[in-house]
Structure 1
C-alpha cells in the first residue's frame, strides 16, 4: 500500500477496485491525439482508472475518503461495461493495517456516483448493510438529496443499494464544513450538482483533492472536463479557481482515479511536475 506522511496526518491508499472507462468520455471534447499524449489508452480506447480510497489516521481518528467500487455489488454486465478488472479489497487492506471496518470513525464522500459509493454497503447474507457501521458519513446536502431522488440521467449512477442502509449515518452540509480540524469539505458542483472537494491543512501546507473535476493529473487543463459532468461549465470555473490557488500556494494535488500518481506538486506555471508520490504499479 502506498503511504505518505503529511505532518500529523498519515495517508494510506487502499485498493478500492479498478475500472477501465472510455477515454473519449473521460476527456470530453478534447481530441484523442491531445489527451493520449498525457494518459494512454488500450486497444478498446479505454483508460485505466483506479478507485482507491484514501485512509487517513489523524487526531486519534480513522478516516476514509471515498469507498471504492465495493465487492459483489454488480452484475456481470456492469462489471463488463465499467471495465472492472478487480473489485474492492478495502476491508482486507484495513485489516492488514490493524483496523476493522467497525473502527472507521469518519467517511468523506466527495459525491455519490457508483464508483465512489458502492463500497459504503456490503452483502451480509441476503441483506445489504453498512460497511462502516460506526462511521459518520459526510456528503453535501445537494448530493444526498439527488442520490435519493435521482433524475432520468443520474439514476444510472445513484443506486438505492448504496444509500438505503446508511441513512442514519449521514451528515450533510451546504457550502463548507470542517470535518475535523484541518480537514475541510467545500461544495463545488460541476461533475454532479452536489460534488465537493476536500482540503487537508497542516502547519501552513495544504493537500487539495479536486475529486472528479480533476480525476487524474492529465486533467489539469481547466477546459479538459468529463463528458460525464452534469454541469461542465461549473466544473471548468471551479477547477480554474482551485487550480490557480493551488499552483500559487504550492499545494499538493491528490487524485482518486489516477493510475500513475497519488500526489503531485506542479511549478507555479503548472508546466512541470516538481514533486510527486507515484502510484505503485
Structure 2
C-alpha cells in the first residue's frame, strides 16, 4: 500500500477494487486522440479506474475517504459492464495497519455513487450490514436526498442496498462543514448535484481531494469533464476555481480513482513539483 506522510499525518491507500470505464464517457466531448495521450486505454476503449479509499489518523480518529466497491456487492452483469476485475480488500488492508473495521470513526463520502459507496456495507448470512458500524458517515444533504430518492437518470448509480443499513450513521451538511480542525468538506455539485470535495489544511501544506470532478491527473483541464456529470458547467466552474487555487499555492491533489498517481503536486505553470505513483501489482 502506498503512503504519503505530511507532517504528523500519514495517508494510506487501501485496496478498494478497480473498475474499467469507457474512456469516451470519462472524458466527455474531448476527442480520443487528445485524451489517450494522457491516460492509457485498453482494446475495449476502457480506462482503468481504481476505487481505493484513503485512510489516515487525525486528532485521535481513524478516518477514511470513500469506501471502495465492496465485496459481493455487484452481480456478474454489473462486474462485466463496469470492468470490475478486482473487488475490495479494505478489511485486509486495514488489518495490515492494525486497524479493525469497527475502529473506523469517520468516513468522508464526496458522493454516494455505487463505486464510492458500495463498500459501506457487507453481506452477513445473506443480509446487508454496515461494514464500519462505529463510523459517522458524512455527505451533503443534497446527495443524501438523491441517494434515497434517485431520478430516472441517477437510479442506476444510487442503490437502495447502499444506504438502508447505514442510514442511522449518516450526518449531512449543506454547503461546508469542518469535520476536524483544518479538515473541511465543501459542496461543489457538478458530477452530481450533491457532490463535495475535501480540503485539508495541514500545517504548511494543503491537500485537495477533488473526487469525481477531477478523477485522475489527466483531468486537470477545467473543460475536460465527464459525460457522467449531471451538471457539466457546474463541474467546469468548480474545477477552474479549485485547480487554479491549488496550483497557485502548490497544494497536493489526492486521488481515489487514478491508476497512475496516488497524489500529485503541480506548480502554477502546471509542472509536477512532487508526486506519489501507484505501484502496480
Per the alignment, residue 116 of structure 1 pairs with: 116
Q: Give how far 1:58 is off.
A: 1.3
Residues 175-230 of structure 1, C-alpha deviations (whole Å, 9 max, x = no match)? 10011112100000000000000011111310011100000000000000000000
Q: 2:10 and 2:204 mapped to 1: Cα distance?
A: 16
Matches within 5 A, 1:79-228: 79-228=79-228
Residues 10, 58 of structure 1: 8 Å contact kept: no
Aligned length: 280
Q: Give how far 1:120 is off.
A: 0.3
Q: Give how far 1:126 is off.
A: 1.8
Gaps of 5+ in 2: none
Using the size of structure 2 for normalisation, the TM-score is: 0.99
Gaps of 5+ in 1: none
Q: 2:33 and 2:62 mapped to 1: Cα distance?
A: 42
Q: 1:160 and 1:280 mapped to 2: Cα distance?
A: 34
Residues 135-187 of structure 1, C-alpha deviations (whole Å, 9 max, x = no match)? 00000000000000000000000000100000110000001001111210000
Please give the root-mean-square deviation of Cα atoms over the aligned residues, in Å: 0.6
- Name the SS for the 1:247 alignment partner: helix
Q: 1:267 and 1:11 mapped to 2: Cα distance?
A: 22
Runs (4 or more) in structure 1 with deviation over 3 Å come to none
Residues 209, 254 of structure 2: 8 Å contact kept: yes
Residues 189, 231 of structure 1: 8 Å contact kept: yes
Q: 2:196 and 2:61 mapped to 1: Cα distance?
A: 21
- Name the SS for the 1:42 alignment partner: coil
Q: Give how far 1:8 is off.
A: 2.1
Residues 92-144 of structure 1, C-alpha deviations (whole Å, 9 max, x = no match)? 11011110000000000000000000000000112100000000000000000
Per the alignment, residue 278 of structure 1 pairs with: 277
Using the size of structure 1 for normalisation, the TM-score is: 0.99
